[in-house]
Structure 1
Amino acid sequence: MTKAAWAMLVPAVLVCAGGAARAQPAPDEARTAFRVCQDPNNLPFSNVQGEGFENKIAELFAHDLGLPLDYFSFPNRLAFIRNTLRYKLPDQPYRCDVVLGVPADFDQVSATKPYYRSTYVLVFPKGRGLDALRGSDDLLALAPDKLRALRIGVGDRSPGSLWLARHELLESGVPYPVMSPDPDAYPGQIIERDLAQGKIDAAIVWGPIAGYFAKRVRSPELVLVPMKSEPGLPFDYAIAMGVRYGEPAWKQQIEGLLVKHREAILAILREYNVPLVAPPAATASQ
């Protein structure tokens, strides 16, 4: 999944596409490598060292296909899709062929069926007065003075910031930029740097980021509780892979790999402490 716009701010992924025009359909062709579009500094999803869970899934797929694994790395700023998956010069191949983490309804790519669903969570240190919280409803039930005294980190324009606004708690919010111009910035700083060091009291963070970085913090122990979706304000999202439009055979092949390796993929996600939630409809697949 690409950096903060997709990791901390799933609904705002559209700003990263670089225009609404879709790439011209390209015919499916023989693959000489499994070529992945990635952000080079975006743990727990991906990095240039291959340490993210999307990197592990890419290795799994490349091995199955009998192809070398090749990455095109590009920082997720504006126009990530345009500069990676859809970028093509005359008589030159595309830079990469698949993005391993996009919202399932993201229309700038041809999205596969979703392969996991996660949720935003409230993260807070254990033993600092919030241990009784089991969800966002419990947070709202705190005494008004205590609630308004909290410093709650949220991504700007994220579901967390919208939730604070809806419940008249904007003064409690500590905004964090979703897309930083600093190439060394990474999504987990809100947890590893500020929450762990007591600069904020809690944070509302996209689940995969929260789970991974909370596990890395040794002290204080961090607690994760799910945020509850509200009418018009969802907190849980289905995540898919994305290919170019006009490549149905390639998309079908990726979906086949997702089915074939479902248990291995879930094991990878659990290893990275990704909070997994069931889809809203009991009959839907995760």
Structure 2
Amino acid sequence: MTKTAGSFRGARALFGALALVIASTAAAPSFAQQQDANAQRKAFRVCQDPNNLPFSSTKGDGIENRIAELFAKDLGLPVEYFSFPQRLAFVRNTLRYKLPGEDYRCDIIMGVPAGFDQVSATKPYYRSTYAMVYAQGRGLDGVQSIDEFLKLEPARLAKLRIGIYDRSPATEWLNKHKLVEQGVPYAIMNADPDQYPGEILEKDLASGKLDAVIVWGPIAGYFAKKVEQPKLVVLPMKSEPGVKFDFQMAMGVRYGEREWKQQIEGLIEKRQAEIAAILRDYNVPLLELQPVAGGRP
């Protein structure tokens, strides 16, 4: 998983995470086909992971579900979902999946890293960062920042068990700060359909199996809010030389669908305040958006 990808299924763990996605070489629709598709659009059709909170779920209670409902209402369309685990070949099996004589199964992925080249990515709609999470009452109380964490006595740091998704920026950070021995790696890819990135917090950190966890910010914030006991503390992490923790998220459509992409970007701009409110409701650590270079339409 690349650093950019890690954000996709878990940072989508991983942000942060997504070399998970393998795209097909399906031809982009012509301009005439695109115009016809927009004119005949009967639903706001979303490609989603069925078990990937806080982003999406079949119950429709994720961040992306709520934003999809917001956009669909503006367009006067019902929302329809095509679900597929966001692991290998997600783009190929959702956004680009089309059998001869049939239509595509869905038309938009609600969360991709800005600039992700397997889709035509929109302008970003939020920027977040990785975070460290610890449980109160287990020896780290009073630590209010990553700088304070790193200033703990070496003997105290040496006893910690820090859960991370392997090959994410957290791996590089532990290595940089000579904490590799304290790291407890979790596999980015898991064949179990019931597995979800937040398990590392909701189960292993909450139970005391781990002393701290480093995950993509939306996952950290959501599960810290969801877990009632023990109380979980979230410490956002800043990018450092050699370790990038913050990433911008966009939406993805098929290449060649210029009008559809422009329509989505118009909704992102129009509903930025409502989108930000949804993200805050899910306790997502938010950073100011940064300009991005233009890409292929």
In structure 2, distance between residues paired with 1:41 and 1:12: 16
Contact 1:137 1:228 in 2 (8 A): no
- Residues 53-103 of structure 1: CA deviation (Å, up to 9, x unaligned): 110111111111111111000011211111101111222111111000010
Is it true that 1:248 corresponds to 2:258 in the alignment?
A: yes
In structure 1, distance between residues paired with 2:100 and 2:211: 52
Is it true that 1:33 corresponds to 2:43 in the alignment?
A: yes
Q: Say which of 16, 23, 27 aligns to 1:24.
A: 27
The code of the aligned residue for 1:7 comes to R
Three-state SS of the structure 2 residue aligned to 1:7 is coil
5+ residue gaps in structure 2? 1-6, 292-297
2:151 maps to: 141
Is it true that 1:182 corresponds to 2:192 in the alignment?
A: yes
Q: Residues 153 and 18 from structure 1, CA distance in 2 versus in 1: closer, same or farther, beyond 3 angstroms?
A: same
1:51 maps to: 61
Contact 1:24 1:246 in 2 (8 A): no
The offset of 1:16, in angstroms, is: 2.0
In structure 2, distance between residues paired with 1:134 and 1:118: 19
The offset of 1:233, in angstroms, is: 1.3
1:3 maps to: 9
Contact 1:125 1:222 in 2 (8 A): yes
5+ residue gaps in structure 1? 282-286
1:214 maps to: 224
Aligned residues, how many? 278
In structure 2, distance between residues paired with 1:175 and 1:69: 37
Q: Matches of residues 43-192 of structure 1 in structure 2 within 5 Å?
A: 43-192=53-202
The code of the aligned residue for 1:26 comes to P
2:52 maps to: 42
- Residues 16-72 of structure 1: CA deviation (Å, up to 9, x unaligned): 2215x5542113122111100000001111000101011011111111111111100
Contact 1:211 1:224 in 2 (8 A): yes
Q: Residues 280 and 266 from structure 1, CA distance in 2 versus in 1: closer, same or farther, beyond 3 angstroms?
A: closer
Contact 2:125 2:289 in 1 (8 A): no
1:195 maps to: 205
- Residues 250-271 of structure 1: CA deviation (Å, up to 9, x unaligned): 0000000111111111111111
In structure 2, distance between residues paired with 1:172 and 1:245: 43
The offset of 1:214, in angstroms, is: 0.8
Q: TM-score scaled to structure 1, two decimals?
A: 0.93
Q: Residues 94 and 280 from structure 1, CA distance in 2 versus in 1: closer, same or farther, beyond 3 angstroms?
A: closer
Q: TM-score scaled to structure 2, two decimals?
A: 0.89
Contact 2:126 2:289 in 1 (8 A): no
Is it true that 1:271 corresponds to 2:281 in the alignment?
A: yes
In structure 2, distance between residues paired with 1:265 and 1:11: 20
In the TM superposition, structure 1's runs of 4+ consecutive aligned residues that sit over 6 Å from their partners are none
Three-state SS of the structure 1 residue aligned to 2:207 is coil
In structure 2, distance between residues paired with 1:79 and 1:237: 22
In structure 2, distance between residues paired with 1:146 and 1:280: 38
Three-state SS of the structure 1 residue aligned to 2:268 is helix
In structure 2, distance between residues paired with 1:222 and 1:243: 36
In structure 2, distance between residues paired with 1:37 and 1:62: 14
CA RMSD of aligned residues (A): 1.5
The code of the aligned residue for 1:181 comes to A
